Structure 1
Amino acid sequence: MANQDRRDLLRDAAIHVLAREGGRGLTHRAVDAEAGVPGGTAKNYFPAREALLRAVAERCLELYRGAVPASPPGDPAELAARFEALLRDAAGPGRARLLAYLELQAESARRPWLAEILDPIAAGDFTGFELAQRAAGLPVTRESAALVTLALHGALPHLLSDGPDTLAAAGLDDPGAFVRGVLRAAYPGAAL
Structure 2
Amino acid sequence: MAREGARGLTFRAVDVEARVPNGTASNYFNNRDDLLTQVGHRFYERLEPDSATMAAALEGPRDRDRVTELMHELVDRVSRFRSGYLALLELRLEATRRPELRHLLTERIRADVDANIAYHTQSGLPGDATTVISLYLALNWLILERLTLPDVFPEEQIHDLVTDLVERVVPGPGR
When the two chains are superposed, the root-mean-square deviation of aligned CA atoms in Å is: 2.4
Q: Does 1:126 align with 2:113?
A: yes
1:1-192 superposed matches below 5 A = 18-65=1-48, 69-71=53-55, 72-74=57-59, 75=62, 76-92=64-80, 94-134=81-121, 135=123, 137-138=125-126, 140-164=127-151, 166-168=152-154, 173-192=156-175
How far apart, in 2, do the equivalents of 1:62 and 1:91 lie?
A: 15
Q: TM-score, normalised by structure 1?
A: 0.75
Q: Where in structure 1 are there 5+ consecutive unaligned residues? A: 1-17
How far apart, in 2, do the equivalents of 1:188 and 1:79 lie?
A: 10
Give the SS at the match of 1:103: helix
Paired residues in the alignment total 169
Deviating above 6 A after TM superposition, structure 1's stretches of 4 or more consecutive aligned residues are none
The letter of the residue matching 1:33 is V
How far apart, in 2, do the equivalents of 1:136 and 1:178 lie?
A: 24
Q: TM-score, normalised by structure 2?
A: 0.82
How far apart, in 1, do the equivalents of 2:150 and 2:47 lie?
A: 26
